[in-house]
Amino acid sequence: MKSVRLWYKKDGLAIYTSHLDMNRCFTRAVRRAEIPLWYTEGFNPHPYMTFLMPLPLGQVGMREPIDIRIEGDISFKEIRQKLNAVMPEGLEIVDVSKPECKPNEIAAAEYEIIAGFADAGEAEGFAAGAKSIIDSGVLNAEKRSKKGVKNVNLCEMIRSFEIEAAETNIHIKTVLAAGNTVNLNAELLLSALLSQFAAETESLTIVRTKLLKEDLSIFE
């Protein structure tokens, strides 16, 4: 038995697939691909499969990790080929590797956000205002957790933030806290900024490009 880390891309209509359905989808895929999965022991054996950092609904993921355990002799290249042959549209295995980092080493995530506004003036005004708020170090918002809803300062969970306007769109590149203890959803950040100006977007794309460790090196 050995551990394997699958890296997948999620885009297109697949971004609207819930985490529960993603579990079902990948369970079916590995069975159809005849990957020799290792099953847990006990009364109700099931294949070992762990999504390390579930992607929020509606967001694109460029390199999302899933850990599985397999038995037998099968190469990483063969695993990737077999899975991609049965994956539904919008989901693609981009890499298969040996886990180099422990799951609890995930501490941050890099995002790219593109939001469209009604006109260029509104986009430019929002970009300038958003930068000013982030630079001030204070952006309060209600955040839900297992313990309920509480008011938090989102700036304390932002590791870096860049924003610029291009015609009617604004482009944000940001690194936000991610992990089991502290986690900031990029959509919550944008919603909090929009509420400061009573602004609304005409279109929105949120892409999680990579997961990072505490020192902001790439999680592998």
Q: What is the pTM of this model?
A: 0.92
User: Above 80 in pLDDT, residue 40?
Assistant: no
Q: For residue range 28-37, list pLDDT tens digits in order.
A: 999 899 998 8
For residue 65, give the amino acid letter.
P
SS3 label, residue 141: strand
With left for phi above 0 and alpha for psi between -120 and 50, is residue 105 left, alpha or beta?
Answer: alpha
| Euclidean distance between CA atoms 35 and 132, whole angstroms | 51
Mean pLDDT of 38-59: 84
Strand partners, 163: 172
Cα–Cα distance for residue pair 119/26, rounded to 1 Å: 41
Q: Which structural domains are found in the chain, ordered by start?
A: 2-99 (3.30.70.580), 105-212 (3.30.70.3190)
Cβ 40 vs Cβ 126: under 8 Å: no
Of the pLDDT bands very low, low, confident and very high (cuts 50, 70, 90), residue 115 is very high
Mean pLDDT across the chain, nearest whole number?
Answer: 93
State the CB neighbour count (10 A cutoff) for residue 184: 25
Separation of alpha carbons 58 and 125, rounded Å:
26
pLDDT at residue 181 in the model: 85
Mean pLDDT to the nearest integer, 173-191: 94
Average pLDDT, integer, range 175-197 = 94
The phi, psi pair for 11, rounded to 5°, reads -150, -170
Q: Please determine, for residue 46, whether its predicted confidence score (pLDDT) is greater than 90.
A: no
Question: Which is nearest to 99 in space by CA: 129, 75, 67?
Answer: 67
